[in-house]
Amino acid sequence: MPVAGPAASENDKPLEYQGRKASRAKSEQRRRLILEAALRIVVSEGVRGIRHRAVAKEAGVPLAATTYYFKDIDELIVDTFTLYTEKALSTVNEFTHQFYQPMTTMAGQDITTPDGQKALISFMVEQLTLYMREQIVTQRDMLVAEQAFRYEAIVNSRIRELARLHRKVLFERAVEFFSRVAQSPEPEADAEILLALFHSLEYRALLMGEPDDLTRFSSTIRRYVSLLLPNLLAQVR
């Protein structure tokens, strides 16, 4: 039976920004410019580095522009996290769609057969490894921002709901895979383990400054799959 693409989620609707709404295209471009600058500051200095004067300097706009769009620092922080969440969810959705495309080719195979098992395991290891590489190598700044915002969400109730939404979407996508594709009897538990593994690998890569080493990621992910699907992995060894 064909494997359909990821199901639409109620969380796919556009995120809502808190600051002053832009009425013209040029005004919207300036507001976006300010938020992009604030996000760069989060990457280089952390969330507490966001100050009206610092953001204005980074964005190359007058100080009055930041206070016009954002009444206080907290509102600027919230909307910067909204921008981050928007970007992060876009990346997740893009990967999810790419992930499901090859599954339509595999869909005719029964994963209870050796060939089906081998295809599923190889596919999981390859795709998850490539996704990890993409995150650590080309999306490094986004990972740094995520670490900074993760702490901020604990102490700042205004961005906590956005952080929960971000995690909910990640969790739903993982559950969907384990339920519809891997046919796991416990898709939610498996999704939690996968997210925890990825968060740990991402943090380690950032902390240790590890180079682009696909072998390290691949071996760790293969070990994870071996624990998750021991009967399937035996077919590809």
pLDDT at 68 over 60: yes
- Chain mean pLDDT for the chain: 80
pLDDT at 29 over 60: yes
pLDDT at 70 over 80: yes
The pLDDT confidence band at residue 233, using thresholds 50, 70 and 90, is very low
pLDDT at 3 over 60: no
The pLDDT confidence band at residue 17, using thresholds 50, 70 and 90, is confident
The pLDDT confidence band at residue 54, using thresholds 50, 70 and 90, is very high
Structure tokens that stand for 189 in this block: 């538990």
Which has the higher per-residue pLDDT, 182 or 237? 182
CA distances from 178 to 29, 54, 140, 175, 184 (A): 40, 44, 27, 5, 5
Q: Give residue for tokens 């993760």.
A: 150
Distant-in-sequence, close-in-space partners of 216: CB < 8 Å, separation ≥ 6: 210
Residues 15-25 have a mean pLDDT of 73
Which has the higher per-residue pLDDT, 13 or 36? 36
pLDDT at 151 over 80: yes
Rounded Cα distance between 97 and 190, Å, is 20
Pick 81-233's CATH classification: 1.20.120.160, 3.40.50.150, 1.10.357.10, 3.30.930.10: 1.10.357.10
Identify the pLDDT of residue 7: 53
Residues 82-86 have a mean pLDDT of 91
pLDDT at 53 over 80: yes
Structure tokens that stand for 8 in this block: 């639409």
Rounded Cα distance between 129 and 221, Å, is 7
pLDDT in tens, 100-141: 666 655 555 555 666 766 777 777 788 888 888 888 888 899
Provide, rounded to the nearest whole percent, the portion of the chain with pLDDT above 90.
Answer: 32
Rounded Cα distance between 188 and 175, Å, is 5
Distant-in-sequence, close-in-space partners of 221: CB < 8 Å, separation ≥ 6: 124, 125, 128, 129, 132, 197
Task: Of 67-76, 147-156, 182-191, 194-203, give the lowest mean pLDDT range.
Answer: 182-191
pLDDT in tens, 94-110: 877 777 666 655 555 55
